[in-house]
Structure 1
Amino acid sequence: MSLAVVVSVITATSVITVGTADAAPAAQTWWIDSCGMPTQSKGGPAHSVKVRAWTKPGNRKTVVMLDGLRATNDVSGWEHNTRVGPDLAAKGVNVIQPVGGYMSFYSDWNTPDNFSRQGYTYKWNCVISKSLVGAMDRKKLRGPSGKYAIMGLSMSGSSALIIAGNNKNDFDSAASLSGYLNLTAPGMREAIRAAMIVPALDGGTPAMNVDAMWGPPWSTRWLDNDPFVQINKMRGLKKLFISTGSGIPGYTATLDAIIANPMLILQGAPLELGSSAMTHAFDLQAMFNRVPHQTFFPVQGLHDWPYWNDAVWNAYRQGFFRA
């Protein structure tokens, strides 16, 4: 896989709205401790992170759903582009969506980002593994298994697996949808560096310096955050689910959108090809190391929301959300 293909990593921003569903609980808004980061969403108290939640009495599982590279501070991309929050909650699964985390990989960074003059250090691993778990515990959302599930897409696919692997007392299930699951593969460090600059060129959003995240390419923190390298930390998870498409477009709605916006195919195909290569490598790594996991590898699939929506419901049908 060429560096030109991989450079597209995690930069998809297409917005396609999926259909509605009946009988769904209303969204709740929480504010949780930000582990020292300033409040980024409007209306919250100082040093807080906004969370959107759909819960229903009697639901037997709770899943944390993480956002992609260009996460915004109003609501999660999951809420912008799908109805998985209310629809899963109506089917027995509480859904919790932290808001924000732009380019963060939901990790604790080494230093403040100097490209965007951030002025503070990202502490998203702390937010998810401590503040959010604490808030869910106070609301008694663990369910019969006593543990939570976590799911990420694109940028956060690797994050979900690493957070679960490092926090098995709190998480027993982890899923990656179109994630990049071998971050230290040849060319990947350079590709992620480029991917964190591209938004400043095509979307008017800030570039960020990957060295501020996990340090220079030779830093061991890259290895610490690579699911391929940390495969044995996934051992013991009750459910491990990985999904990726082929880079081939499908669905009438998506094809119509491609005609209207050719960037969907120009970005979405190489993005998914990169994810496919690394997710299949992780699949082989998990099999070699005898780490049980579930897969969903559809023949069609771009790096885009309708496919991630499909992957969520495939995970549901495979029993990923069962307590």
Structure 2
Amino acid sequence: MAVMAAAGLVSLSSTPFDPVARAQPDVMTPAGPGTGPVAPDGSAIAGTRRVDERHLELTVHSAAMNLDFPVDVQLPADRSAPRPVLYMLSGGSGGKGAASWDRRTNAFDFLSDKDVNVVQPIGGAASYYADWRQPDPRLGIMKWSTYLTEELPPLIDAALGTNGVNGLVGVSMSGTSVLQLPITKPGLYRSVAAFSGCARIADPVGEMYVRITVGFGGGDAGNMYGPSGDPMWAANDPYLHAEALRGLDLYLSSGNGMPGPHDKAGDRHFAGAGDSLANQILVGGILEAAVDQCTHAMADRLADLGIPATVELHPYGTHSWGYWDDELPASWPVLAHGLGL
């Protein structure tokens, strides 16, 4: 429950933290007395900005990384009782710029009539939202698993008065992460949806996919899990540890790399300037064909273990936001069941 979730947090004020009441439109509250919950490890909600009646922008300090990160929040349609939280992770860009749920999809509109707190952490580009074995010269200290499982949820629960029930959605890079995080922190999440992710990272093809993704973001995956064959790759492979996903409401999906309805100029998900439709079709097709193999393998693994999962393997679709936007409503019954909605 919300009161239990807040245990261990130190309030900076005798007045309960109300992010809606404290945040002023277009004004970022500086860190200091009364700003928000603070954990014993030093992680804290350092600032808030109210965008409108339903939307907040939080600044959350990670003690593990000693950095502040934005977190976008959409409050539930009905706030008369404590509600669950749906965490939505972005792909390789970490949600910065145009490649995010709020910029490239209708996710927040779709969820606007749902009784759920929607939380979109920003940051973690090329990180796989993992705890890296050592700092990366380009990306710095990466302790994203600690941030997402240990630091952020208690702060969100305390600040928003949630009921302590969580769901998790990820695409592309984070389609791997959303299967890793529930294994790292059993019991934290009740439902998980992974769109176009690759769970089998200790496999040579999966490892190559991870290294390409991290390299594209300027990092070196060797600083994450070490050289090929290092035990850390297997230790963080959701395919190998799929048994730990038993009991979750699971949804997995992928396209097969062939062009589909969203691979055309003028599609509402296509950003246009700075993007290339040819790149989406060619590179996005190759990427999606690869993750399609990963999704097939993970689906087979879950079936072999007798772990129920809803799996959608589409006969078209590239590695792009239009298809992930379609998958959110498709996955909602599975997510909602785990969230108790």
TM-score normalised by length of structure 1: 0.79
- Equivalent AA in structure 2 for residue 218 of structure 1: G
Which residue is equivalent to 2:20?
A: none
Q: 1:150 to 1:25 in 2, by over 3 A?
A: farther
- 1:276 is paired with a residue whose SS is helix
Which residue is equivalent to 2:120?
A: 97
Distance 1:309 1:108 in 2: 28
Which residue is equivalent to 1:50?
A: 70
Q: Deviations over 1:60-100 (max 9, x none)?
A: 43211111112254687111211212431322332110001
Distance 1:210 1:32 in 2: 26
CA drift at 1:242: 0.6
Q: 1:212 aligns with which of 202, 223, 227?
A: 223
Which residue is equivalent to 1:234?
A: 245
Whether the 8 Å contact between 1:76 and 1:97 is mirrored in structure 2 is no
Whether the 8 Å contact between 1:149 and 1:172 is mirrored in structure 2 is yes
Query: Number of residue pairs matched?
Result: 277
Distance 2:161 2:312 in 1: 27
Q: 1:190 to 1:87 in 2, by over 3 A?
A: closer
Distance 1:219 1:292 in 2: 31
Higher relative contact order (CA 8 A, sep 6+): 1
TM-score normalised by length of structure 2: 0.75
Distance 1:147 1:307 in 2: 27
Q: 1:298 aligns with which of 311, 314, 318?
A: 314
Between the two proteins, what is the percent identity of the paired residues?
26
- 2:190 is paired with a residue whose SS is strand
Show the 5 A alignment for 1:22-37: 26-37=54-65
- Equivalent AA in structure 2 for residue 319 of structure 1: V
- 2:150 is paired with a residue whose SS is helix
Unaligned 5+ segments in structure 2 are 1-51
- Equivalent AA in structure 1 for residue 191 of structure 2: S
Q: 2:280 aligns with which of 264, 269, 290?
A: 264
CA drift at 1:319: 3.4
- 1:262 is paired with a residue whose SS is helix
- Equivalent AA in structure 1 for residue 202 of structure 2: T
CA drift at 1:59: 7.5
Higher mean Cα deviation, 152-161 or 63-72? Answer: 63-72
- Equivalent AA in structure 2 for residue 53 of structure 1: V
Q: Deviations over 1:113-153 (max 9, x none)?
A: 13x2x4x411111110012111222035544xx42011111
Q: 1:240 to 1:217 in 2, by over 3 A?
A: same
Q: Deviations over 1:93-114 (max 9, x none)?
A: 3211000111000011111113
Q: Deviations over 1:213-258 (max 9, x none)?
A: 1111222111122111010110122x0111111212222x532259
- Equivalent AA in structure 1 for residue 130 of structure 2: S
Q: Deviations over 1:247-305 (max 9, x none)?
A: 12222x53225996211111111111111100110000000001111122222211111
Whether the 8 Å contact between 1:70 and 1:103 is mirrored in structure 2 is yes
Q: 1:110 aligns with which of 114, 125, 133?
A: 133
- Equivalent AA in structure 2 for residue 37 of structure 1: M
CA drift at 1:33: 2.6
Q: 1:279 aligns with which of 291, 295, 298?
A: 295
Which residue is equivalent to 2:176?
A: 158
Whether the 8 Å contact between 1:246 and 1:301 is mirrored in structure 2 is yes
Distance 1:282 1:270 in 2: 19
Unaligned 5+ segments in structure 1 are 1-23, 39-46, 200-205
- Equivalent AA in structure 2 for residue 255 of structure 1: K
Whether the 8 Å contact between 2:92 and 2:126 is mirrored in structure 1 is yes
Whether the 8 Å contact between 1:286 and 1:293 is mirrored in structure 2 is yes
Whether the 8 Å contact between 2:95 and 2:123 is mirrored in structure 1 is yes
Distance 2:93 2:206 in 1: 19
CA drift at 1:178: 0.3
Q: 2:187 aligns with which of 169, 179, 183?
A: 169
Whether the 8 Å contact between 1:33 and 1:127 is mirrored in structure 2 is no
Q: 1:190 to 1:76 in 2, by over 3 A?
A: closer
Q: Does 1:309 align with 2:337?
A: no
Distance 1:34 1:76 in 2: 23
Q: 1:123 to 1:136 in 2, by over 3 A?
A: same
Q: 1:75 to 1:50 in 2, by over 3 A?
A: farther
- 1:241 is paired with a residue whose SS is strand
Distance 2:185 2:84 in 1: 17
- Equivalent AA in structure 2 for residue 177 of structure 1: F
Distance 1:173 1:292 in 2: 12
- 1:246 is paired with a residue whose SS is coil
Which residue is equivalent to 2:260?
A: 250
